[in-house]
């Protein structure tokens, strides 16, 4: 899964490509996720439990190896925090809508000479649907069936570590849509659901091979609820003040409330006049003027506007014309929004022109300002009902390690002093992803490749030209998506159909807690605790489970799992394997919860289903939930949860990369039949691990045993059943790499090897880029 094969030769025809990358059609979008039994259970669970955030990785763990040192900083975290304190809402439209704020990231710790691919995926935080009531978001009912997973690949990918570290990276090209039939490659989301963006840094030894290591980052403050129209006026206000494109809606803008009202009045007046005109002398403009509304500031504008129109009216009045007013209003800028806006702007510019270097000075200043603002506002927000109450927020970055058990009070703390950078981000290792992946069965993973910015002089250099992919499995291209599939992780999507076998709420809870809860958190750790002691440690938020993932070499071969006992992560990969993916892909009907549970760690212990369940859930949901926990201020209220929220520091902007080397071989890992997560857990033959392990993104990178050794704690911990000690290297055989398959014309600006990714067969070409969709396809 991790690795993807690319076919430089573009030998694949559209049809084939479609087969390889599109699974949407295969998976019914609207099929109920939860079987009755499971659904009930899901409803019973506290929202928080459903979506626990991934535990942040401790710095120590992260720094074990150079790779571990990889860090990602959310540069506009202050802006995000402002939004999260209110309850971030993201508009989704049929045509696709960009995210605002955008993800403005700074990477460090990468090997300058190695190439990496940056991916963005957005996974559900929980299995709930939300409604804005009483000034806050309330979970109401179960989430809709999970949609096909799509991944947005940063236009610069693949690029060297030096490239990524030399500038601020932005995913502003990514668009969100609610069109389940979207053909543009946009990320498809359900409205009124809560999501968590995740960024994955995948080592690409060459174009054909992904995966020397994977680092996944989750910034809790970037969690949001999708809407088709803003529900919270505060969010609207923030967006208007922060987004340059909404400048016109500011008070001083021409599209401000005042101006709009004025226009409205004018229109009415015009219409009235028009009607009158029919009955009156067409040439008599005086009437029109008289009728025009006259009051206050509007008067001036109206008068002016009407003036030009008058002549026309006589000869053909056009009600619609009102342009003149605009000039009258002086533009003022204002406030705090501007600062954010400025930062955002810079961000955008930077991204667009990859060649352009960011201005640290100005940005810093902006950030600082923003932060200050945030700080002040943030605490208050927290105190008040956070918009994202239900989910416990994992602390991001650095804050976690140092403070294993943070007080809720921490949230309240503004953390003013902490610069975004300082916060270690939550790390979600591929495992986390995989965990979320419980959905794998249903979802497809598709990759979106925006066209690189014209300026991307900096564009990464071509990786390998040779089509020869190391992986013999060129044929296996299907698998790739699976491994990578980001979404699979979350809960919702993947629910095992088996109602009876479905994990109980308890299971979910357990799983969630273990993974999501912060170390030291008061979480109900009970069951969860079993997962791994480490969780409690600062490292708890890391997606350790995932890490181990992969190991088994067998995977590469397509054999059945090599290591069931292995840490879940590996399993995941296995389960997801391209071919196997089919198996991994639970029938659409599978309830989300089910999905979650099974995935996580089920695999590890077929023998200990119960234990596994918890893990599974964690993995699956952990990532998503983590963010929630992290937001103290967040406005997303959860229904009262039985579990205490883990204290996360909102400030944590940095996600510590979990350096996981994963590699899951798709084929190998997957059992012939996709088993339900639920069933899988129970079924010895198909270790739950696999399922759980299937992280959305497990790049196929060859799994490195040494990696596992470096993160032994993670692996074993994940699976309760596993011994705490470091996993046996043998257990985690190196992953086989999965080459990506290139499908079509390469984008001119891209290196030859990667061009294929860009231009997509599906005809996803946007003005700003083309998209490639990749979805896991079950292989039978």
Partner DNA sequence: TCCACTTACACATTTGAATCGT
Partner DNA sequence: AACGATTCAAATGTGTAAGTGG
Binding region for DNA (CB under 7 A): 91, 93-94, 96-98, 100, 131-132, 175, 178-179, 190-192, 227-231, 236, 239-240, 243-249, 253-255, 257, 259-260, 263-264, 320, 322-323, 325-326, 331, 345, 348-349, 352, 453-454, 766-768
Closest CB to DNA among residues 236, 274: 236
- Residue 422 DSSP class: G
Q: Measured from the CB of residue 351, what is the shortest distance to DNA in angstroms?
A: 8
Alpha-carbon span 219 to 104, nearest angstrom: 11
Q: What is the DSSP letter of 187?
A: E
The pairing of beta strand 445-448 with beta strand 149-153: parallel
CB atoms near residue 113 (< 10 Å) = 8
Shortest CB 562 distance to DNA, Å: 43
- Closest CB to DNA among residues 185, 609: 185
Write phi, then psi, for 293 (nearest 5 degrees). -65, 140
CB nearer DNA, residue 239 or residue 403 = 239
Least distance in angstroms from the C-beta of 22 to DNA: 21
* Closest CB to DNA among residues 91, 125: 91
Q: How far is the CB of 386 from DNA (least distance, A)?
A: 20
Packed helices 568-575 and 609-630: angle between N→C axes, nearest 10 degrees: 90
The one-character DSSP state at 475 is: G
Task: Compare residues 17 and 302 and give the one whose CB is closer to DNA.
Answer: 302
- Please state, in angstroms and rounded to a whole number, the distance separating the CA atoms of residues 620 and 599: 6
Residue identified by tokens 């129209």 is 229
Facing residues of 91 across strands? 227
Task: Give the CA distances from residue 410 to residues 53, 77, 345, in Å, rounded to whole numbers and listed in that order.
Answer: 17, 17, 31
CA proximity to 360, closest of 598, 187, 167? 167
CB of 144 to DNA, least distance (A): 9
Q: Work out whether strand 426-428 and strand 209-218 pair parallel, antiparallel, or are unpaired.
A: antiparallel
Task: Assess contact for 355 and 456: CB atoms under 8 A.
Answer: yes
Is the N-terminal amide bond of 241 cis, ω within 30° of 0? no
Task: Determine the Cα–Cα distance for residues 78 and 222; give it in Å rounded to an integer.
Answer: 10
Nearer to DNA, 246 or 757 (CB): 246
**Is the CB of 179 or the CB of 384 nearer to DNA?**
179
The DSSP 8-state label assigned to residue 186 in this structure reads P
Contacts of 411 (CB under 8 A, 6+ apart): 382, 386, 393, 631, 632, 633, 647, 648, 649, 650
Would you say 239 or 579 has its CB closer to DNA? 239
Q: In sequence order, what E strands does 385-433 have?
A: 426-428
DSSP bridge pairs for 618: none
Measured CA to CA, the distance from residue 182 to residue 686 in angstroms comes to 34
Residue closer to DNA (CB basis): 98 or 709: 98
Tokens 């273990």, residue? 514
CA distance 519 to 529: 10
Residue among 319, 289, 295 at smallest CA distance from 307: 289
Nearer to DNA, 61 or 350 (CB): 350
- Asked if 545 and 715 count as a contact pair (C-beta separation under 8 A), the reply is yes
We find the least distance from the C-beta atom of residue 79 to DNA, in angstroms, to be 13
Range list of β-strands (E), 640-753: 655-656
- The distance of closest approach from Cβ of residue 95 to DNA in the complex, given in angstroms and rounded to an integer, is 7
C-beta of 253: minimal distance to DNA in Å?
5
The distance of closest approach from Cβ of residue 101 to DNA in the complex, given in angstroms and rounded to an integer, is 9
- The helix or strand, by DSSP H or E, that contains position 248, with its residue range, turns out to be none
Minimum CB distance to DNA smaller for 232 or for 509: 232
* Smallest separation (angstroms) from DNA to the CB of 340: 12
Closest distance to DNA from the beta carbon of 264 (Å): 7
CB of 626 to DNA, least distance (A): 25
Q: Cα-Cα-Cα-Cα dihedral of 253, 255, 258, 261, to 10°?
A: 160
Q: What share of the chain is helix, strand, coil (3-state, %, to 5)?
A: 40, 15, 45
- DSSP string for residues in 49-99: HHSPPPPPPPHHHHTTSTGGG-EEEETTHHHHHHHHHH--EEE-BSS-EE-
Tokens of residue 455, six digits: 């300026």
d(CA 48, CA 645): 8
| Comparison of 454 and 684: residue with beta carbon closer to DNA | 454
User: Measured from the CB atom, is 260 or 364 closer to DNA?
Assistant: 260
Identify which of residues 93 and 272 has a Cβ nearer to DNA in the complex. Answer: 93
**Residue nearer to DNA on the CB measure, 260 or 709:** 260
CB 492 within 8 A of CB 124: yes
Give the single-character DSSP code of 119: E
Query: Closest approach of Cβ 21 to DNA, in Å?
Result: 22
What does DSSP assign to residue 15? H
**Smallest separation, CB 666 to DNA (Å):** 33
Q: How far is the CB of 93 from DNA (least distance, A)?
A: 6
Nearer Cβ to DNA, position 405 or 766? 766
The minimum distance between CB 747 and DNA, in angstroms, equals: 13
Judged by beta carbon, residue 116 or residue 130, the one nearer DNA is 130
What is the 8-class DSSP label of residue 176? E
Minimum separation from the CB atom of position 128 to DNA (A): 13
Q: Note whether 514 and 643 are within 8 A (CB).
A: no
Q: Distance between CA 302 and CA 288 in Å, rounded?
A: 12
Scanning the structure block, which residue is given the tokens 């995913």? 171
């Amino acid at each position: 899964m991790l690795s993807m094969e690319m076919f430089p030769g573009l030998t694949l025809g559209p049809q084939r490509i479609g087969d390889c990358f599109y699974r949407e059609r295969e998976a019914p979008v609207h099929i109920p996720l939860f079987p009755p039994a499971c659904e009930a259970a899901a409803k019973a669970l506290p929202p928080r439990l459903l979506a626990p955030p991934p535990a942040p990785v401790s710095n120590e763990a992260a720094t074990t190896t150079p790779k571990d040192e990889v860090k990602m900083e959310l540069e506009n975290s202050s802006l995000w925090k402002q939004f999260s304190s209110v309850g971030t809402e993201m508009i989704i439209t049929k045509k696709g809508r960009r995210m605002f704020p955008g993800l403005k990231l700074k990477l460090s710790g990468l090997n300058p000479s190695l190439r990496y691919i940056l991916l963005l995926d957005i996974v559900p935080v929980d299995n709930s649907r939300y409604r804005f009531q009483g000034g806050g978001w309330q979970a109401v009912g179960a989430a809709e069936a999970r949609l096909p997973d799509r991944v947005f690949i940063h236009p610069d990918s693949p690029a060297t570590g030096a490239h990524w570290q030399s500038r601020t990276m932005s995913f502003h090209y990514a668009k969100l849509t609610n069109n389940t039939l979207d053909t543009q490659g946009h990320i498809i989301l359900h409205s009124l659901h809560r999501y968590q963006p995740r960024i994955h840094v995948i080592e690409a030894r060459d174009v054909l091979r992904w995966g020397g290591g994977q680092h996944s980052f989750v910034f809790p403050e970037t969690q949001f609820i999708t809407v088709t129209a803003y529900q919270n006026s505060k969010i609207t206000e923030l967006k208007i003040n922060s987004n340059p494109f909404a400048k016109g809606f500011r008070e001083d803008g021409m599209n401000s409330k005042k101006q709009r009202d004025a226009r409205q009045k004018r229109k009415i007046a015009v219409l009235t006049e028009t009607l009158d005109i029919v009955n009156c002398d067409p040439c008599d403009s005086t009437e029109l003027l008289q009728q025009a509304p006259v009051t206050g500031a509007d008067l001036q504008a109206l008068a002016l506007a009407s003036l030009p129109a008058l002549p026309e009216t006589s000869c053909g009045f056009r009600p619609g014309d009102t342009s003149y007013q605009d000039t009258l209003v002086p533009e003022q800028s204002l406030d705090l929004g501007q600062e954010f806006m400025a930062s955002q702007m810079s961000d955008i510019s930077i991204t667009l022109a990859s060649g352009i270097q960011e201005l640290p000075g100005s940005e810093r200043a902006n950030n600082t300002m923003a932060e200050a603002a945030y700080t002040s506002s943030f605490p208050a927000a927290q105190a008040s009902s956070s918009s994202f109450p239900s989910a416990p927020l994992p602390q991001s970055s650095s804050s976690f390690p140092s403070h294993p058990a943070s007080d809720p009070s921490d949230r309240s703390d503004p953390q003013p002093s902490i610069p975004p950078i300082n916060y270690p981000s939550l790390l979600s290792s591929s495992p986390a992803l995989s965990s979320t992946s419980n959905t794998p069965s249903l979802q497809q993973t598709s990759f979106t490749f925006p066209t690189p910015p014209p300026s991307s002089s900096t564009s990464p250099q071509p990786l390998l030209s040779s089509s020869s992919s190391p992986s013999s499995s060129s044929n296996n291209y299907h698998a790739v998506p699976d491994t990578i599939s980001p979404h699979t992780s979350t809960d919702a999507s993947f629910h095992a159909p088996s109602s009876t076998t479905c994990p109980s709420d308890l299971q979910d809870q357990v799983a969630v807690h273990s993974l999501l809860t912060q170390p030291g958190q008061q979480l109900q750790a009970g069951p969860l605790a079993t997962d791994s002691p480490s969780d409690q440690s600062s490292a708890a938020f890391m997606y350790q489970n995932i890490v181990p993932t992969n190991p088994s070499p067998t995977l590469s071969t397509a054999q059945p799992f090599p290591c069931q006992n292995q840490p879940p992560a590996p399993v995941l990969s296995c389960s997801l394997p391209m071919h196997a993916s089919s198996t991994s892909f639970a029938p659409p009907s599978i309830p989300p919860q089910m999905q979650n549970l099974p995935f996580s760690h089920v695999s590890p212990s077929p023998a200990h289903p119960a234990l596994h369940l918890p893990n599974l859930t964690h993995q699956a949901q952990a990532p998503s939930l983590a963010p929630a926990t992290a937001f103290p201020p967040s406005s997303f209220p959860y229904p009262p949860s039985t579990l205490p929220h883990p204290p996360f520091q909102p400030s944590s902007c940095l996600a510590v990369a979990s350096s996981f080397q994963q590699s899951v071989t798709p084929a190998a890992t997957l059992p012939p039949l996709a088993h339900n997560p639920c069933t899988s857990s129970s079924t010895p033959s198909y270790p739950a691990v696999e399922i759980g392990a299937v992280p959305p993104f497990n790049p196929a990178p060859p799994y490195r045993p040494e990696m596992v050794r470096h993160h032994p704690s993670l692996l074993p911990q994940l699976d309760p059943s596993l011994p705490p000690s470091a996993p046996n290297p043998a257990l985690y055989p190196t992953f086989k790499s999965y080459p990506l398959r290139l499908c079509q014309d390469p984008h001119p600006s891209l290196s030859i090897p990667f061009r294929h990714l860009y231009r997509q067969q599906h005809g996803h070409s946007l003005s700003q880029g083309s998209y490639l969709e990749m979805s896991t396809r079950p292989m039978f």
